[in-house]
Amino acid sequence: MGLVDQLQRICGAEFVITHEHQLRTYESDGLLQYAAMPKAAVLPGSAEEVHRVVKACHEAGVPTVARGAGSGLSGGALPHEDGVLIVLSRLRRILDVDLENQRVVVEPGVTNLEVGAAVGPSHYYPPDPSSQVVCSIGGNVAENSGGAHCFKYGFTTNYVTGLEVVLPDGDVVQLGGGKMVDAPGYDLLGAFVGSEGTLGVATKITLRVIPAPPAWRTLVAFYEHMDEAGRTVSAIVSAGLIPGAMEIMDKLSIEAAEAATRAGYPTDAGAALVVELDGPESECEAAFDEIVDICRQNDATGIRIAEDEAERALIWKARKAAFAAMGRLAPNYYVQDSVIPRTQLPQVLTRIEELAREYDVRVANVFHAGDGNLHPLVLYDAATPGEAERAEECAGEIVKACVDLGGSITGEHGVGVDKKRYMPSMFDEPDLAAFQMLRCAFDPAGLANPGKLMPTPRLCGEVPGPYRQHPIEAAGLAERF
Ligand SMILES: Cc1cc2nc3c(=O)[nH]c(=O)nc-3n(C[C@H](O)[C@H](O)[C@H](O)COP(=O)(O)OP(=O)(O)OC[C@H]3O[C@@H](n4cnc5c(N)ncnc54)[C@H](O)[C@@H]3O)c2cc1C
């Protein structure tokens, strides 16, 4: 029996897609610059079906790629042309809400926002990607996703306490302590979170949730220049204050977000800084007054304070819509995701301006300022010859500038297919070899999301020797990523 027949027997014929037109739905994730068609896309309806699908693919020697909502921005869920795409969107059950133990157990296709809704209003799940309406918890785990509130609360990895995982050979294992905080043995849970689908498929996820903060105070301060907003962030941190979130938007981002949301941001402002405090009411009030003073001392031209929940939601609406709103400024954009030590913010923003001039493109900046996690959006028009290439090169130079300033090639969007070429700029060959050994321990056959994350895939068991340049590389005819 062929593999497709087997998949149909496991999941039902209507959940195995092989027709080219239907497969197009899955050809890209959120990074549309990459597209590929799998041989088949399969939508299992249970963890048991995922296990049988992966086992069948493994026995047939066929690569698999897991896909949640497909909102990833590094090509992580890009299909393998000879492989099977395992779409987890039907695994949407919330299995257990255990607020006494501050835990919720969910299937991987549940969205980030649904987790919050399931535990609220008394409890709160802090990691909040701007894509939270659509992105799946399985994708969040695979990417170790962050969001505006991670400055204070930490990333997905700080909230996953247990996982059920289908390994690349189809075996099912439990990683972590389930509802307990920790478990004896190697921290395989820590290794899995952020592994971008290369170590297996998560089919059940246990998350820690926390009591919802009793009070919130939110403001947005406006400035003439970005460096004033950056200075405010540094001054807030230096004062020992820890807001839940600190987000900066530049002039272009404000323009786009305002056009999309009508949130009332002044479009002549050079920068906007959203600051949100949370915690006990009295603590919030005292710290909030101090933050307002710090904004003024750093030349804020205006400060808008949310007086009620509706105004708070509006302030956030503009920030969270910033990516999607870029379509109002240019037909295409390339989202970069890099990190820098927060103190390097002025240097990197100046460098981004220089690069934008050099490559003759516009770059909008919107970022998690507390974490130093930048999201430069390089705008272009794919219909104009050469512009897409210039945008991509400019985005690449921005990554390099961040690494040169002591930062990282990715903050929260992952390496995927898009950034694997930059891995050697952060890691030496022995570091990469250690990653590869871990990967091979989970997936000796190399069938789980191959071609992603690692720059120089080699077969498991192959001994990494010193790097030797191939003659065609030396001749400048090929480049190794
Ligand atoms: C407008 C917009 C805003 C965004 N804002 C943020 C943000 O603020 N913060 C942030 O961190 N990200 C952000 N993202 C990126 C993206 O939403 C996150 O990376 C998200 O976690 C991806 O989830 P997904 O379900 O869409 O995963 P997919 O894109 O489907 O997959 C992502 C990766 O996870 C793997 N994967 C998916 N499910 C599983 C599973 N069950 N088991 C194992 N591997 C799996 C895939 O193989 C792939 O490698 C944004 C994206 C967009 C489009």
Q: What is the per-residue pLDDT across 375-423, written as a single tens digit (0 to 9) for each?
A: 999 999 999 999 999 999 999 999 999 999 999 999 899 999 999 999 9
φ/ψ (deg, to 5) at 425: -75, -15
Exposed e or buried b per residue across 154-176, where buried means at least 16 C-beta atoms within 10 angstroms of its C-beta? ebbbebbbbbbbbbbbbebeebb
SS3 350: helix
Q: Check if 147 has its Cβ closer than 6 Å to any atom of ligand 1.
A: yes
Q: How far from 48 is each of 61, 213, 393, CA to CA, in Å?
A: 20, 38, 44
Residue 464: what pLDDT? 52
- pLDDT tens string 52-63: 999 999 999 999
Band (pLDDT 50/70/90 cuts) for residue 461 is low
Give the percent of the chain with pLDDT over 90: 85
128 lines ligand 1 (CB under 6 A): no
The answer to whether residue 456 scores a pLDDT higher than 80 is no
Does the pLDDT at position 467 exceed 60? no
Q: What is the pLDDT, as a whole number, of residue 323? A: 86
What sign results for the dihedral spanned by CA atoms 119, 120, 126, 130? positive
Mean model confidence pLDDT for the chain: 93
* Cβ of 337 below 6 Å from ligand 1: no
Instruction: For ligand 1, atom 37, name the residue with the nearest CA.
Output: 139
pLDDT in tens, 174-228: 999 888 878 899 999 999 999 999 999 999 999 999 999 999 999 999 999 998 9
Question: Does the beta carbon of 413 lie inside 6 Å of ligand 1?
Answer: yes
pLDDT of residue 179: 85
120-129, 242-251, 324-333, 472-481: segment of lowest average pLDDT = 472-481
pLDDT for residue 335: 87
Atom 52 of ligand 1, residue of closest alpha carbon? 131
Is there an atom of ligand 1 within 6 Å of 11 CB? no
CA–CA distance, 80 with 292 (Å, rounded to integer): 51
Closest CA to 227 of 342, 322, 349, 338: 349
Q: Does 74 sit in the ligand 1 pocket, CB within 6 Å?
A: no
Find out whether the peptide bond into 430 is cis, omega within 30 degrees of 0.
no
Indicate if ligand 1 lies below 6 Å from the C-beta of 202.
Answer: yes
Pocket lining: 29 vs ligand 1, CB cutoff 6 Å:
yes
- Give the pLDDT band (50/70/90) at residue 469: low
* Residue 72 CA to ligand 1 centre (angstroms): 4
User: Which of 93, 79, 95, 102 has the alpha carbon at shortest distance from 27?
Assistant: 79
Atom of ligand 1 nearest to the CA of 72: 29
* CA 446–ligand 1 middle distance (angstroms): 22
pLDDT digits (tens, 9 = 90+) for 411-434: 899 999 999 999 999 999 999 999
- The phi, psi pair for 204, rounded to 5°, reads -145, 135
pLDDT reported for residue 481:
44
256 phi/psi in degrees, rounded to 5: -65, -45
CA–CA distance, 200 with 439 (Å, rounded to integer)? 10
